[in-house]
Structure 1
């Protein structure tokens, strides 16, 4: 067993691990409607058909009550909750949904939500899920369908008409430093030369009427893109946030993918079909056309504000966890009729933090095999959050290498800690 971080796993992957293709835009009709892996609304509906959705029509308070229910679902593997009547909802913003990638109670369908997010049958096992993700790295990406408009543009709010403090943004845990609008959405950033579009899931707390303070960790992809803009002397970066993104996109944005590889490409390979995308109102960024909610604006490279603390995957807060983080200004909100805000409420086993982190074993296995090591398989149990991983050794190949366990472990450690 070896302790590895996502950063270490990514460091050992070659950029060519996932095929990348440049392509031109091409408009076509919406092709993702009704596909649960590529349309969040369809994903919710397929959970209902599976008997895995709890429709809650009683009014719920976004101040701790929603968070308490979602945590209870995570801890008991109950049905995913859809809150139809959130206190403070106005102008269609918003219903709430929780536990998109947590577990089911029936052992036969334990991973059903994750399987549905990836276009697999609900009785798929964990190995089926990892194998589908692995195969996606071997396929060419498909050009996106660039649409003239999409469901995410059915309603629009701009500028001073935006007031995040007047929306039912949830306080998810006692002791959180504020209300978190972003816990299960996809941030979208692009390099200055547009060669790399990064999709990632990092938390965002409401700071004031039009700004979020979001966690940006040095060494992660959002930080790399920020640094490229800083070198050009820019003060801000075009930014978008897709809430209620295609489920496969949110999964992909949650796992380690080599730097320089666009998650949009990976998702099209994963789904085996192109994504429907639409241009933002205020920038050239492309966003999933069927997103429930889109925030558009800028990522400040100089302005910061206090963010956190926020209860994380171990189920507690840490003293001094809060810190100054970059501010993201919201200049436009577009959203579907009857918009649904997905929320993730991290804590003790098992929720989205644990399930998505454990998928890192796919990238770890690929990194080790790229270096021709005698490793047949890699599995990170959900309970580990990928802080350690079980490796299956090819005994015959190991013998041919004429090495020993200590040397093999040292080699694995060196690969995992190779510089970016």
Structure 2
């Protein structure tokens, strides 16, 4: 598998079929979209102003070297590394930002990067961050606004000019089954009836020149939508994968929101403004207009290939443990000039799998319990548990009025949480 996905980048180069100077087509309403929580490039600049970026201009190899530096940063709560000179990068594809949602020096605001995702002060607490993520619950959705074009259309590559094996996709862990280009991007899929557009994060690795293979398993929403299309007799599902999306959008993509809820509207309600989106070149899906990189194509319902292993959020890997997962076909790539690929190098504490997946699932569990009338006042996934535990704060004085014993409460919580996608990772 590694020999298939680790071919030399010198074998092929990308030739942009169309290059656009975005400066000549800037949108009249683009100003709000330039805020750091709504624009990944602005987010990077905000981290620079925070003194939270380590720019690395010497050439670094995506084969383990880049990820080793990211891991060092993650494990020491150091600055986020921005690799401006990745070995094998050509024609603007691509630079790499590591640890976009990891922790940082407590003196600079431990959760400052997450706060920057949501337009909160850099010294915001985790509770303030989770409260912000839940602030759109029950609020009217603010749908995205489709615009004619955007920065993600500055360069367009299609068809036979695409060679994913020529990209400097990182080999993150030595025992990984391939080069995982997708660790912090946002999959975009839509139900066959068009009523549900899902944004989600699910890992994917380079398989060959035109294909990725990625984890698509129940109860993921990406799996649910794939199965809907399969029941319709379709062999391919329209799909896009956007990297370097608005930080508020990637936060919502990490959250186990209810089935059928369109994340774009939730993000709009949470931020108070509609996101600008543009239509893909090859299908009717829309993606954030200021995305750094966009892959367009299809997700197969029947063509599967070995996926994995991958160094997991729990800090371990099972060498050679691969599973059959569906392929993605990439038909078009669009990207910004000097594009940046965000990368999460998961493993030991602390990285995005802990700060986002665990924390946001805990927030959803808290809301589930409150909506069910249970006396839960707070929830958090302790990082020390590799976010496999969720600790709940209980208003014990309210138990008698509810006719609940501690044992009865535990059962009610367990039945509720483990019947929901949010409980998939947890022991409560």
TM-score, normalization: structure 1? 0.91
- Are the aligned partners of 2:88 and 2:168 in contact in 1 as well (CA < 8 Å)? yes
CA distance in 2, matches of 1:417, 1:248: 27
In structure 2, the partner of 1:8 is: none
CA distance in 1, matches of 2:258, 2:154: 35
In structure 2, the partner of 1:116 is: 116
Q: Does 1:415 align with 2:401?
A: no
Larger displacement relative to structure 2 (305-314 or 276-285): 305-314
- Are the aligned partners of 1:32 and 1:39 in contact in 2 as well (CA < 8 Å)? no
In structure 1, the partner of 2:399 is: 398
Q: Deviations over 1:243-293 (max 9, x none)?
A: 111111111111211010011111112211110100000111000000000
In structure 1, the partner of 2:285 is: 285
Distance of aligned partners of 1:28 and 1:268 in 2 relative to their CA distance in 1, 3 Å threshold: farther
- Are the aligned partners of 1:368 and 1:375 in contact in 2 as well (CA < 8 Å)? yes
In structure 1, the partner of 2:385 is: 384
Larger displacement relative to structure 2 (77-86 or 389-398): 389-398
SS in 1 for 2:34: coil
SS in 2 for 1:230: helix
Q: Deviations over 1:361-409 (max 9, x none)?
A: 2111111122211222222223334422222222332121233111111
Shift of 1:359: 1.9
1:26-41 matches, cutoff 5 A: 29-41=29-41
In structure 2, the partner of 1:371 is: 372
CA distance in 2, matches of 1:253, 1:375: 25
In structure 1, the partner of 2:167 is: 167
In structure 1, the partner of 2:144 is: 144
In structure 2, the partner of 1:91 is: 91
SS in 2 for 1:364: helix
- Are the aligned partners of 1:360 and 1:386 in contact in 2 as well (CA < 8 Å)? no
CA distance in 2, matches of 1:83, 1:418: 42
Shift of 1:28: 6.8
- Are the aligned partners of 2:301 and 2:326 in contact in 1 as well (CA < 8 Å)? yes
Dislocated runs of 4+, deviation >6 Å? none
In structure 2, the partner of 1:221 is: 221
CA distance in 1, matches of 2:238, 2:90: 27
CA distance in 2, matches of 1:418, 1:167: 41
In structure 2, the partner of 1:212 is: 212
CA distance in 2, matches of 1:148, 1:28: 11
1:243-392 matches, cutoff 5 A: 243-319=243-319, 321-356=321-356, 357-392=358-393
Shift of 1:139: 2.1
In structure 1, the partner of 2:157 is: 157
Shift of 1:168: 0.8
- Are the aligned partners of 1:198 and 1:263 in contact in 2 as well (CA < 8 Å)? yes
Larger displacement relative to structure 2 (390-399 or 148-157): 390-399
* Unmatched runs of 5 consecutive residues or more in structure 1: 1-26
- Are the aligned partners of 1:212 and 1:328 in contact in 2 as well (CA < 8 Å)? yes
* Number of residue pairs aligned between Structure 1 and Structure 2: 394
| Structure with bigger RCO (C-alpha 8 Å, 6+ apart) | 1
In structure 2, the partner of 1:17 is: none
SS in 1 for 2:258: coil
In structure 2, the partner of 1:126 is: 126
Shift of 1:108: 5.2
SS in 2 for 1:219: coil
In structure 2, the partner of 1:197 is: 197
Shift of 1:107: 4.1
CA distance in 2, matches of 1:360, 1:152: 30
Shift of 1:419: 7.0
Distance of aligned partners of 1:107 and 1:224 in 2 relative to their CA distance in 1, 3 Å threshold: same
CA distance in 1, matches of 2:150, 2:368: 38
CA distance in 1, matches of 2:97, 2:111: 18
Distance of aligned partners of 1:161 and 1:361 in 2 relative to their CA distance in 1, 3 Å threshold: same
Larger displacement relative to structure 2 (307-316 or 196-205): 307-316
- Are the aligned partners of 1:144 and 1:274 in contact in 2 as well (CA < 8 Å)? yes
CA distance in 1, matches of 2:219, 2:198: 14
SS in 2 for 1:388: coil
TM-score, normalization: structure 2? 0.89
CA distance in 2, matches of 1:358, 1:419: 16
Shift of 1:138: 3.1
